[in-house]
Amino acid sequence: MPSDKRGQGVAEPLKIAFLASETEPAQRALKRLTSRYGSAPLDQADVIVALGGDGFMLQTLHGTQSMDLPVYGMNCGTIGFLMNEYSEKDLPQRLARAEEAVINPLAMCAVDRNGDVHEALAINEVSLLRAGPQAAKLRISVDGKVRMEELVCDGALVCTPAGSTAYNYSAHGPILPIGADILALTAMAAFRPRRWRGALLPKTAHVRFDVLEPEKRPVMADADGRSVRDVVSVDVHSEPSIRHRILFDPGHGLEERLIREQFL
């Protein structure tokens, strides 16, 4: 977290930029907090406070990734795995004490049936999902080597440690420690091979999905809500040149949350 000490030992308040989702609770919180603390323009801020749920937190991180500003989320939504508890009291002190987690996103490059190329970044996961009544057929390659000639399934995903408790966990994938240089590759409702439970891959791995029978078995790709229909191939890798800085209250960071989720 940036220090609030600047100049020659003179304390200056942190410049906070508040962003909020369009939901009524988040908008009410925005009015109360800006009335109490003010709100700096993004280009002058030391820290961003995002008000909403996990979806808005992801939206904020994507929208401000070029600024290299830490983002502190306060939960005005439902789950709030990436968020801190909402409180209007002592916010500058909470920000000064906050612990930082740094996350590298996944880069997706998807090619559709028209040959158009679509690129997007994902903090949680890149997923491929069947888009018709029949199961998808996927060929999976890792670092240029085919590892599975044919996976028949409802879909498959690659996730970061930060996203391992999201869709990945619902699909019975593993929870990854936040500091692990690992990606999880997980299938959704695998039909053949029926017992395949996915794979753990090094963070440096480049994963490619080729869609088999794309006209008969259409597939869509999704990167944190950015969807591409009728894909024929999707390449996924971690993007180390981009980092997202997320702030958590002491003792409630991502590492603690990931461990806690495994004992619920």
One digit per residue, the tens of pLDDT, for the chain of length 264 reads: 655 544 445 557 899 999 999 999 999 999 999 999 999 999 999 999 999 999 999 999 999 999 999 999 999 987 778 899 999 999 999 999 999 989 999 999 999 999 999 999 999 999 999 999 999 999 999 999 999 999 999 999 999 998 998 899 999 999 998 888 999 999 999 999 988 989 999 999 999 999 999 999 999 999 999 999 999 999 999 999 999 999 999 987 777 877 887 787
Answer yes or no: is 84 a known binding residue.
no
- Which SS3 state, helix, strand or coil, does residue 132 take? coil
Answer yes or no: is 169 a known binding residue.
yes
Question: 9 is written with which tokens?
Answer: 């030992």
Strands (E), 113-252: 117-122, 125-130, 136-142, 145-153, 155-159, 182-188, 199-202, 206-212, 219-223, 226-228, 231-238, 244-248
> Are 61 and 184 members of one domain?
no
- Residue 144: C-alpha distances to residues 154, 180, 210, 257 (Å): 24, 23, 12, 35
> Are 91 and 183 members of one domain?
no
- Residue 251: C-alpha distances to residues 144, 176, 209, 256 (Å): 41, 18, 38, 7
> Are 126 and 31 members of one domain?
no
Q: What is the chain's length?
A: 264
One-letter amino acid at 172 equals: H
> Are 113 and 234 members of one domain?
yes
Q: Which residues, in sequence order, are CB contacts of 256 under 8 Å at separation 6+?
A: none
Q: Which residues pair with 237 in a beta bridge?
A: 107, 206
> Are 112 and 164 members of one domain?
yes
pTM of this prediction?
Answer: 0.85
> Are 12 and 128 members of one domain?
no
Task: In whole angstroms, give the CA distance from residue 45 to residue 42.
Answer: 5
**What CATH number does residue 214 fall under?**
2.60.200.30
Answer yes or no: is 162 a known binding residue.
yes
> Are 60 and 148 members of one domain?
no
Q: What are phi and psi of 175, to 5 degrees?
A: -85, 130
> Are 234 and 111 members of one domain?
yes
> Are 58 and 87 members of one domain?
yes
Answer yes or no: is 72 a known binding residue.
no
> Are 84 and 143 members of one domain?
no
Answer yes or no: is 75 a known binding residue.
no
**What CATH number does residue 254 fall under?**
3.40.50.10330
- Residue 171: C-alpha distances to residues 133, 158, 233, 241 (Å): 19, 12, 22, 29
Answer yes or no: is 125 a known binding residue.
yes
Which H or E run contains 108? strand 106-112
Answer yes or no: is 170 a known binding residue.
yes
Answer yes or no: is 166 a known binding residue.
yes
Domain span at residue 227?
A: 106-238
Q: What pLDDT score was predicted for residue 4?
A: 52
123: which DSSP letter? S
Task: In whole angstroms, give the CA distance from residue 134 to residue 204.
Answer: 33
> Are 149 and 232 members of one domain?
yes
> Are 84 and 111 members of one domain?
no
Q: What pLDDT score was predicted for residue 263?
A: 81
- Which active-site residues does the annotation give? 54
Number of domains in the chain: 2
C-beta separation of 74 from 48 below 8 A: no
